[in-house]
């Protein structure tokens, strides 16, 4: 019997991730409607912003109009500045994210699988996750200098906590029916852990991953605010130096788009990785 058949054997319905992506309560929700509803609030904000800038309600010297911001974005794209800065920033966020995920998963698995491991790891992990990341940024700079390493590590420090918590909690809450099914088919312990326990904990781990991706973008802003000569943070600092609010707002929009794209990619990865996950919630 293959491990793919184990969820069905345990009574878990097999679902198509793309088919069930926008289903709720037995009623299908069209993709176009999801997109329209999600765009309502941003469109209202942009329209209000545009009207305020046009009729003078907003001081455009400190709150540039949407047309000016779009023009600045167009210039950044046309001269290649945006793509160059975006590549540098994404590499920093990506490397820091991968380091944080690795540490969070390793210690989360140790805590979730064994009580001894949890007793040894969890107290320290709980202490570290309550420390404000921005408070230790000066320490990272003092210890590792103004190099790229300090930027990677500050992102990794923030990312590791949600991954650790989600992995540990997900493993602790694995349905015992799955373990009983593994015993029925006489699966070895290692196979039970890596092909049943961890996959069963993936829904919870993906929740932590979604938060981790958002944190990697947030901490990228902080990491690039200190002595950075390239990247999105450098462009934002240039806008602050020369009081170019349009440039700052353009970079803020890029950060927001990065967060949205990151969340969509994690959701897509979740759908692809968990084809056996049935719809148990209200949506």
What is the pLDDT at residue 42? 84
Query: In whole angstroms, what is the distance from residue 162 CA to residue 169 CA?
Result: 11
- Is residue 237 within 8 A of residue 229, CB to CB? The reply is no
Side-chain half-sphere of 38: how many Cα atoms within 13 Å?
A: 9
Predicted pLDDT of residue 162: 92
pLDDT tens, residue order, the chain (283 aa): 444 444 443 444 434 344 444 444 445 567 777 778 888 888 888 888 888 888 878 777 778 888 888 999 998 999 988 999 999 999 999 999 999 999 998 898 888 877 888 888 888 888 888 888 888 888 888 888 778 888 899 899 999 999 999 999 988 888 778 878 878 888 887 787 778 878 888 888 998 999 999 889 888 888 887 777 888 888 888 888 888 888 999 999 999 899 889 988 988 888 888 766 655 544 5
pLDDT at residue 279 in the model: 54
Tokens of 64: 């540039």
Q: Report the distance separating Cα 127 and Cα 137, nearest Å.
A: 17
Superfamily of domain 7-50+64-273: MetI-like (1.10.3720.10)
Predicted local distance difference test score (pLDDT) of residue 209: 92
pLDDT of residue 283: 53
Q: What is the pTM of this model?
A: 0.78
Q: What is the structure's pLDDT at 9?
A: 39
Which pLDDT belongs to residue 15?
A: 42
What CA dihedral angle connects 41, 46, 52 and 55, to 10 degrees?
Answer: -130
pLDDT at res. 7: 44
At 277 the pLDDT is: 62
In angstroms, the CA 208 to CA 124 distance is: 19
């Amino acid at each position: 019997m293959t491990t793919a058949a184990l969820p069905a054997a345990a009574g878990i319905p097999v679902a198509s991730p793309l088919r069930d992506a926008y289903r709720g309560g037995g009623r299908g929700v069209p993709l176009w409607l999801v997109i329209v509803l999600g765009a309502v609030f941003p469109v209202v904000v942009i329209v209000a912003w545009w009207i305020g800038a046009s009729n003078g309600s907003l001081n455009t010297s400190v709150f540039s109009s949407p047309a000016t911001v779009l023009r600045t974005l167009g210039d950044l794209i046309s001269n290649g500045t945006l793509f160059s800065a975006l590549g540098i920033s994404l590499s920093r966020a990506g490397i820091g994210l991968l380091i944080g995920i690795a540490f969070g998963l390793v210690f989360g698995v140790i805590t979730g699988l064994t009580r001894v491991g949890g007793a040894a790891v969890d107290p320290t992990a709980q202490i570290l996750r309550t420390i404000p990341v921005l408070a230790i940024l000066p320490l990272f700079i003092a210890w590792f200098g103004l190099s790229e390493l300090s930027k990677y590590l500050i992102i990794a420090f923030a990312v590791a906590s949600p991954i650790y918590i989600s992995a540990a909690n997900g493993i602790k809450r694995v349905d015992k029916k799955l373990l009983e099914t593994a015993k029925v088919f006489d699966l070895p312990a290692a196979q039970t852990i890596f092909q049943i326990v961890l996959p069963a904990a993936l829904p919870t781990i993906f929740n932590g991953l979604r938060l981790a991706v958002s944190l990697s973008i947030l901490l990228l802003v902080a990491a690039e605010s200190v002595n950075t000569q390239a990247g999105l943070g450098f462009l934002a600092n240039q806008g602050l130096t020369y009081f170019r609010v349009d440039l700052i707002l353009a970079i803020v929009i890029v950060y927001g788009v990065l967060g949205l794209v990151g969340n969509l990619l994690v959701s897509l990865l979740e759908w692809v990785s968990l084809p056996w996950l049935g719809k148990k919630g209200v949506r």
